[in-house]
A and B are shown apart, each in its own frame.
Chain A
Amino acid sequence: MGIKKNWIYTLDFVIISATAIALLFIFNNINPLVIAPFNEEETTTSTVLFEFKNADYIFIDDNIEFTSPEKIFVEDNILINLKPGVYYWKLKGITESEIRTITIISKVDLRLRETNKNCSECDSSYEVINAGNENLNVDVYSGENFTGNFVLNKNENKNSSGTKFIGVAE
């Protein structure tokens, strides 16, 4: 046989190195890498940024068995709107990631802005803004008298007259 010893050792080295590099590549690309949100994160922000690598789907459910998951096809990081509650979520690419939980804490946040500030003879009118993460029922009072109510969806604003505005989750 005309094969030299050195040549054989070189081939051994090339094959073992190539195999090691390929296995490292496979290992890095086969498992979804979960970056954010952290496990057991609690927030009042309902728009959550999901950061990850090597995944094609996010599964989100309100139970750990994932019996009725929201299956969202994703290419890369994504902002997902979630209603207040506890959610279990995982990523799926070629394999599945660990299961993490996130809690969206409900927040009632009502803001007032006077709209007819330049009109001294007009009734006080206000822009009522829902800055929380729940749809609200807003009760309107004039003095101590209840004058009516309206529904204010999340991020919605409405003009209304009154002296007291009280918001409660729908």
Chain B
Amino acid sequence: MKNKLFKVSALLFLIFVFLLSIISVSALGVTPGRKIIDFSPSGQKEASFRIINSEDKALNVKVSVKGDLSNSFSINEQSFVIQPKEERDVSYTLTLPYELDPGTHMQEITIVEVPDSAKDGSIGAVVGVITQVYVRVPYPGKYAQVEFNIESAEEQQEVSFFMPITNLGQEELTQVNAEIEIYNSQGDKIAVVSTEKSSIKIGERKEVVGNWRADVTPGVYRANALINYDGESINAEKNFSIGNKVLELVDVNVKSFTLGGIAKFEMGVENKWGEEIKNVYSQTNVFDKDKNLIADFKSPTYDIASLSNQTFFSYWDTEGVDKGTYDASVYLRYGEKFSKKNVQFRVDDYSIQAIGLGYVIYEGEAGGKIGSNTKMLVGIIIFLLVLNLLWFILFRKRVARGKKENIKIIQNNNHNNNKKN
């Protein structure tokens, strides 16, 4: 009987091990994902990358290079076993030719898991990652690579035009500037913005910036930038919007929750504006029945593309929180503005449900805050200054003068007394 039980247990154990091997995960990482190397004739460049095995099993890996310079790579390890949770640095030398066509030559170093022949058929798929090596060869003479970015604004605010310029030529760019023409939807030119002149060294990246105050009605506008560098020019064009940035909290979900644990909030936020809104984060304040703040948690920042939704993640530690319905305010903060949505959280043993209420947009909070702090400190400084001046210059002097007069009176009295005697 005992023997039979042992056999059954052994069989169950083997099945368990087999199942574990089937559901096992493959994972491979590499850092950096990309490296840029500047070309130098017949130069030797040494660099390295790190391979990361974040799983609990050893992996056989193979390293190979693809690209027009693949034969110029010398990698110190091309095939090895990477242990569980191991991070291994692999170095390589790139011997560059004397001449190479101008531009960017992309090479790919592939690190791929080699299937274990003993386990073939059970796992089936392997994973691989690529670290890219860009060899940048300068163009003859003067050559600039230009991007054109616009940070849209609301009415009466400043629109910023950014032109990051990279000098990819063999000569320094000594006179770089831009002229930006702004057109309305009817095609009429309504403004011209000029930037300051600057110089850009070989291989350097610099930004040319122009600002324009949007004293116009909301709508879509077009910017046409002419970037000049030492007699050459590049044209770039882009549309931008003037209007109100509107973000809306669409929904709030909490999955796999147990009261007393950490609740993971997934908040759907919609950007209703025609432009991307950057660095938005949520802040949630939860209040008890007496309106006391019992929790304040924030999400990281997110960039939300125009007219699209983004899920914000934030976490609430519910240790010590009782079942019940709690008032909460969810703030979506962006720039100096925030929108606020009042909700209620119904907290149960295994769920948190959001019940929506009102929705308000606020602005100008930051300015007020800084103003009050500054005012307070300036007030303290002025008060101290006046107090010290009054005391040490006026009052103290008067006291000292009073003292001198007292001494004179005493001296006179003494003198008179002496005379009488």
Query: Contacting A68 at CB < 8 Å: which of B112, B162, B205, B402?
Result: B162
Asked if B206 and A3 sit within 8 Å, CB to CB, the answer is no
Query: How far does the alpha carbon of A166 sit from the alpha carbon of B125 in the complex, in Å?
Result: 11
Query: Contacting B207 at CB < 8 Å: which of A3, A11, A22, A67?
Result: A67
Shortest beta-carbon distance from A38 to chain B in Å: 19
Asked if A164 and B370 sit within 8 Å, CB to CB, the answer is no
Asked if A63 and B206 sit within 8 Å, CB to CB, the answer is yes
Query: Contacting A84 at CB < 8 Å: which of B33, B54, B373, B399?
Result: B33
Asked if A1 and B399 sit within 8 Å, CB to CB, the answer is yes
* A contact residues around B124 at 8 Å (CB): 114, 124, 163
Q: Is B335 an interface residue (CB 8 A)?
A: yes
Query: Contacting A67 at CB < 8 Å: which of B28, B162, B377?
Result: B162
Query: Contacting A94 at CB < 8 Å: which of B23, B370, B380?
Result: B370
Asked if A117 and B23 sit within 8 Å, CB to CB, the answer is yes
* A contact residues around B356 at 8 Å (CB): none
Given contacts A15-B387, A19-B384, A107-B29, contact A73 B335 (CB under 8 A): yes
Q: Is A78 an interface residue (CB 8 A)?
A: yes
Query: Contacting B129 at CB < 8 Å: which of A26, A84, A105, A109?
Result: A109
Q: Is B128 an interface residue (CB 8 A)?
A: yes
* A contact residues around B336 at 8 Å (CB): 73
* A contact residues around B33 at 8 Å (CB): 84, 106-108, 132, 134, 168-169
Query: How far does the alpha carbon of A66 sit from the alpha carbon of B31 in the complex, in Å?
Result: 28
Query: Contacting A165 at CB < 8 Å: which of B30, B127, B279?
Result: B127
Query: How far does the alpha carbon of A140 sit from the alpha carbon of B29 in the complex, in Å?
Result: 17
* B contact residues around A163 at 8 Å (CB): 124-126
Number of A-B contacts (CB under 8 A): 177
Query: How far does the alpha carbon of A70 sit from the alpha carbon of B132 in the complex, in Å?
Result: 28
Asked if B130 and A108 sit within 8 Å, CB to CB, the answer is yes
Asked if B131 and A70 sit within 8 Å, CB to CB, the answer is no
Dominant SS among interface residues on chain A: mixed
Shortest beta-carbon distance from A159 to chain B in Å: 12
* A contact residues around B402 at 8 Å (CB): 1, 3
Shortest beta-carbon distance from B52 to chain A in Å: 7
Asked if B300 and A79 sit within 8 Å, CB to CB, the answer is yes
* A contact residues around B403 at 8 Å (CB): 1
Asked if B27 and A78 sit within 8 Å, CB to CB, the answer is no
Query: Contacting B25 at CB < 8 Å: which of A1, A108, A113?
Result: A113
Query: How far does the alpha carbon of A111 sit from the alpha carbon of B124 in the complex, in Å?
Result: 14
Task: State which residues 35-71 of A face B: CB under 8 Å.
Answer: 44, 47, 56-57, 63, 65, 67-68, 70-71
Query: How far does the alpha carbon of A19 sit from the alpha carbon of B386 in the complex, in Å?
Result: 11
Query: How far does the alpha carbon of A149 sit from the alpha carbon of B28 in the complex, in Å?
Result: 18
Query: How far does the alpha carbon of A35 sit from the alpha carbon of B241 in the complex, in Å?
Result: 38
Asked if A112 and B32 sit within 8 Å, CB to CB, the answer is no
Task: State which residues 379-421 of B face A: CB under 8 Å.
Answer: 380-381, 384, 387-388, 391, 396, 399, 402-403, 405-406
Shortest beta-carbon distance from B19 to chain A in Å: 8
* B contact residues around A111 at 8 Å (CB): 25-27, 54, 127
Query: How far does the alpha carbon of A132 sit from the alpha carbon of B125 in the complex, in Å?
Result: 20
A80-B301, A166-B112 given; 19 more Cβ-contact pairs under 8 Å = A1-B399, A8-B396, A19-B388, A23-B384, A26-B377, A56-B369, A57-B366, A63-B205, A68-B207, A78-B301, A81-B303, A84-B33, A105-B31, A108-B33, A110-B129, A117-B19, A134-B33, A165-B128, A168-B132
Interface CB pairs A-B, < 8 A, 10 = A44-B31, A63-B205, A63-B207, A73-B333, A78-B300, A81-B300, A105-B32, A109-B129, A110-B29, A112-B27
